Amino acid sequence: MSITKVTIMDFYANWCQPCKRIPALLTNVVRERKNVVIEMVDVDQYPDIASAYDVTGLPTVVLTTKQATVMVSGWQLTKQHLLSKIDELQTQRN
């Protein structure tokens, strides 16, 4: 059985102080799960991408697969919550 690839999109801005803690959190998450990659999206540089994913606040992380998209923000940005959402996405039937 193959593991579904999950892309973690980290929406951030250089002026956003809470956003600065997210890369270390995501690095720890990726170490614990296979077939997960991180994409950084600067909302000031790429507002069209942020708009396409309905990002209205920072920090926001979007988890995507070919089958589903899950947005995680605010208090939900914990290692355990992200691992749980990745597990859910990776166990969905293709």
Beta bridge partners of 93: none
Confidence of residue 76 (pLDDT cuts 50, 70, 90): confident
Superfamily for domain range 6-91: Glutaredoxin (3.40.30.10)
Residue 82 has pLDDT above 60, yes or no: yes
pLDDT score, position 92: 83
Q: What residue spans define the domains of the chain?
A: 6-91
- Please report, for residues 25, 34, 39, 68, the alpha-carbon distance to residue 18 in angstroms, rounded to integers and kept in the order given: 12, 27, 18, 26
CA distance 28 to 43: 23
Give the residue numbers annotated as catalytic, written as ranges.
Answer: 16, 19
pLDDT score, position 44: 98
Query: Dihedral angle at the C-alpha atoms of 73, 35, 20, 47, nearest 10 degrees?
Result: -70
pLDDT in tens, 17-44: 999 999 999 999 999 999 999 999 999 9
Q: Is the pTM here over 0.85, yes or no? A: yes
Residue 71 has pLDDT above 80, yes or no: yes
